[in-house]
């Protein structure tokens, strides 16, 4: 694509933003006195801030660039990643799971697993999570630097070093509070930075109906029904009727249940934001408050991708073509920024883009330093030290977490396949996790051995399923089929991933039940108080004002999501 | 918490909004051909400025209330 030249005003906006990011860290540094201040913000974050940070920590590279790319590639169906693949799980974690996470006073998700099950289950989760966060942060860094190189012509190394230093500085100074505050700042920046792009694009194409009309040739030329790019549910009857190659059952079970609940309900990266809230009620409302902007985000991140493909199709080649002759979907959003925004607003848009990458990085780094310090260092390396010692470790972990991310970013530039392989392994490890938590929280008979071996068997099942199947047109290797025989060919990679998750979850669920029943419970009912549903007093909230009642808020959020699904059916 | 987050949010958007508005007033109109002929810097700058000032006002009001109670 044509490189963008920034003017003085664009740099001025960028500098103002970085000034505020670092200023927040600098201001907060004097409030960090204990490890709990550093890792959990002293559990004192106001509800609305925790809610927006909950949303923003997940707003990493994959969101703005990836969802824009999917919007161009698959159209409105991408909204399932929000309305099916996020909102129901966010409501569930707020209403049903947060009482155990927050109420147990666990300082991290792995620590909950130790309290509920045993040491080995915690160890397994802590190690895989720590490695995963470092690599995710490295991938964000790599993607940001590559994008800046391509779009602005900035030097790759400078971008890596600069983003690393900025994220390091503000987390090192202000810990989780600083990360959370900056995530909220980034949330507003992303909304206000991308909104003009969406408004201009829609105005140019004649509004939503104009966009829909221009998407008809996109769909028909690819051999689908005219509405395939602008409807969300209508073409899910069979996998061959939509560009994603997924049918409704795989979508609802794979994405909507296993993958989405696995992420939103067990990933410490997001849960940490709710754990930092100032009270149980605030912690429970954190994901519910996050759900409201989340359900509207498709307008900000998916619609630009749809606008880009509509322009590409009707006005001739807006998007640069990749080596395979197809449009380079990952450049949909950056190309659109350059297409509509003049210098000035362009600076704001690019700042928002950088903010989204950095909030993703910072989220991973804060989750990493906590799990490293509490669940690995304090548990296995040096237990029984003073709180000061662990606070110092937290600072140190922030530095080497970032250094490892930089190393991961460079590893990605040299060995692209290694990164793809790692992501595949993480997918195997994550897929069964929600079964373990579900049984742990709602079935008091589940045991430590059951949880640990269930997780391992579930992970193995994910690998086996992937190894025995292939997506349409894929060659054996990273895409699957590496076990020699191919038992089934899926219509698309996405369908294969959804089914891998479904298999892993089901196997883990059944294996945990069977192994729990043949092993002896390792915790007494007394131990499990506050950790398991049937042994924990119910949250009483019917005397609170309606907007403070999690259950009522959950119903409202689900109702709004249902309406959105119907409107864009 | 010891820092009302609305201060930095308000401060940042007030500054960015003012910068964009000012730039919108002095910039050559030719650059707005790509934004459908609309001076988006001026208009969006004003939106950001208003957002920033409302945030600042809320923070100051809350601060005054807190001081009175204490």
Give the per-residue pLDDT at A508. Answer: 94
Give the per-residue pLDDT at A419. Answer: 65
Give the per-residue pLDDT at B53. Answer: 95
Q: How far apart are CA A236 and CA A242, in angstroms?
A: 7
The residues, any chain, with a CB within 8 Å of residue A307's CB and separated by 6 or more, are A198, A201, A202, A204, A205, A211, A336
**HEC assignment per residue over A546-568:** HHHCHHHHHHHHHHHHHHHHHHC
* Chain B residues lying within 8 Å of A200, measured CB to CB: 35-36, 38, 40
E runs forming strands in chain B? none
- What's the whole-model pTM score? 0.90
CB contact under 8 A, A348 and B20: yes
Give the per-residue pLDDT at B70. Answer: 43
CB contact under 8 A, B34 and A341: yes
CB contact under 8 A, A345 and B5: no
Selected for mutation to probe chain B from A342, A349, A351 (highest B CB count within 10 Å) is A342
Give the per-residue pLDDT at A540. Answer: 75
* Chain B residues lying within 8 Å of A31, measured CB to CB: 2
In chain A, which residues have pLDDT < 70?
Answer: 1-2, 60-62, 416-419
Q: For residue B50, is pLDDT > 90?
A: yes
- Nearest Cα neighbor of A520 from A450, A436, A443 is A450
Closest-CA distance, A480 to chain B, in angstroms, reads 45
CB contact under 8 A, A196 and B44: yes
Closest-CA distance, B37 to chain A, in angstroms, reads 10
The sign of the torsion formed by the CA atoms of A27, A31, A35, A38 equals negative
A318 touches chain B (CB under 8 A): no
When pLDDT is cut at 50, 70 and 90, the band that residue B66 belongs to is: low
Selected for mutation to probe chain B from A5, A56, A180, A345 (highest B CB count within 10 Å) is A345
The per-residue pLDDT for range A132-184, each reduced to its tens digit, is 888 888 888 888 888 888 888 889 999 999 999 999 998 988 888 888 888 89
Give the per-residue pLDDT at A435. Answer: 92
Looking at every residue in chain A, the average pLDDT score rounds to 86
B35 touches chain A (CB under 8 A): yes
CB contact under 8 A, B47 and A192: yes
Give the per-residue pLDDT at A1. Answer: 60
Give the per-residue pLDDT at B2. Answer: 66
Closest by Cβ to A46, choosing from B1, B13, B34: B1
Q: How far apart are CA A13 and CA A373, in angstroms?
A: 36
Segments in A267-331 forming alpha helices (H): 268-275, 280-314
């Amino acid at each position: 694509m044509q490189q963008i030249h920034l003017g003085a005003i664009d740099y001025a906006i960028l500098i103002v933003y970085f000034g505020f990011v670092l200023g927040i860290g600098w201001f907060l540094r004097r409030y960090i006195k204990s490890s709990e201040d550093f890792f959990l913000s002293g559990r004192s974050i106001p509800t609305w801030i925790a809610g927006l940070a909950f949303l923003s920590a997940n707003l990493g590279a994959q969101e703005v660039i990836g969802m824009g790319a999917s919007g161009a590639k698959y159209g409105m169906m991408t909204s399932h990643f929000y309305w099916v693949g996020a909102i129901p799980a966010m409501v569930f974690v707020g209403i049903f799971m947060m009482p155990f996470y927050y109420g147990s006073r666990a300082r991290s998700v792995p620590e909950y697993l130790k309290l509920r099950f045993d040491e080995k289950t915690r160890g397994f989760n802590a190690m895989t999570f720590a490695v995963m966060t470092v690599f995710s942060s490295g991938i964000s860094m790599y993607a940001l630097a590559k994008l800046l190189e391509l779009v602005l012509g900035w030097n790759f190394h400078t971008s890596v070093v600069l983003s690393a230093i900025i994220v390091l500085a503000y987390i090192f100074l202000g810990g989780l509070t600083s990360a959370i505050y900056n995530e909220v700042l980034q949330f507003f920046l992303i909304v206000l930075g991308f909104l003009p792009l969406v408004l201009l694009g829609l105005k140019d194409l004649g509004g939503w109906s104009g966009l829909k009309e221009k998407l008809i040739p996109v769909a028909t030329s690819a051999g689908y029904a005219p509405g395939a790019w602008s409807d969300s549910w209508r073409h899910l009857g069979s996998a061959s009727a939509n560009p994603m190659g997924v049918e409704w059952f795989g979508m609802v079970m794979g994405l909507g249940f296993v993958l989405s609940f696995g992420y939103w309900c067990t990933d410490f990266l997001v849960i940490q934001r709710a754990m930092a809230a100032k009270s149980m009620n605030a912690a429970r409302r954190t994901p519910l408050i996050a759900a409201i902007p989340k359900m509207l985000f498709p307008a900000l991140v998916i619609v630009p991708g749809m606008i880009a493909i509509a322009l590409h199709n009707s006005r001739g080649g807006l998007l640069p073509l990749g080596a395979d002759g197809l449009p380079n979907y990952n450049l949909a959003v950056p190309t659109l920024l350059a297409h509509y925004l003049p210098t000035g607003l362009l600076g704001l848009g690019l700042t928002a883009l950088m903010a989204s990458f950095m909030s993703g990085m910072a989220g991973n780094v804060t989750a990493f330093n906590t799990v490293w310090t509490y669940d690995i260092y304090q548990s296995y390396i040096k237990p029984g030290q003073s709180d000061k010692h662990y606070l110092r470790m937290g600072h140190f972990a922030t530095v080497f977490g970032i250094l490892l991310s930089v190393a991961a970013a460079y590893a990605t530039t040299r060995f692209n396949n290694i990164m793809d392989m790692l992501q595949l392994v993480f997918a195997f490890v994550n897929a069964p996790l929600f079964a373990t938590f579900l049984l742990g929280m709602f079935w008091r008979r589940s045991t430590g051995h059951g949880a640990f071996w269930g997780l391992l068997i579930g992970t193995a099942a994910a690998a086996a399923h992937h190894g025995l199947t292939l997506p349409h047109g894929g060659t054996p290797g990273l895409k699957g089929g590496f076990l020699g025989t191919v038992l089934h060919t899926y219509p698309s990679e996405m369908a294969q991933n959804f089914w891998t998750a479904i298999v892993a979850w089901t196997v883990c669920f059944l294996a945990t039940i069977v192994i729990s029943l043949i092993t002896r419970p390792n915790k007494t009912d007394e131990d499990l108080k506050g950790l398991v549903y049937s042994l924990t007093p119910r949250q009483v909230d019917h005397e609170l004002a309606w907007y403070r009642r999690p259950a009522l808020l959950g119903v409202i959020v689900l109702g709004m999501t249902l309406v959105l699904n119907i409107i864009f059916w | 918490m010891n820092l009302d987050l609305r201060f930095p949010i308000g401060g940042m958007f007030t500054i960015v909004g003012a910068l964009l508005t000012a730039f919108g007033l002095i910039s050559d109109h030719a650059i707005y051909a790509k934004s459908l002929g609309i001076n988006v810097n001026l208009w969006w700058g004003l939106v950001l400025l208003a957002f920033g000032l409302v945030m600042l006002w809320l923070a100051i009001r809350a601060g005054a209330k807190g001081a009175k109670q204490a």
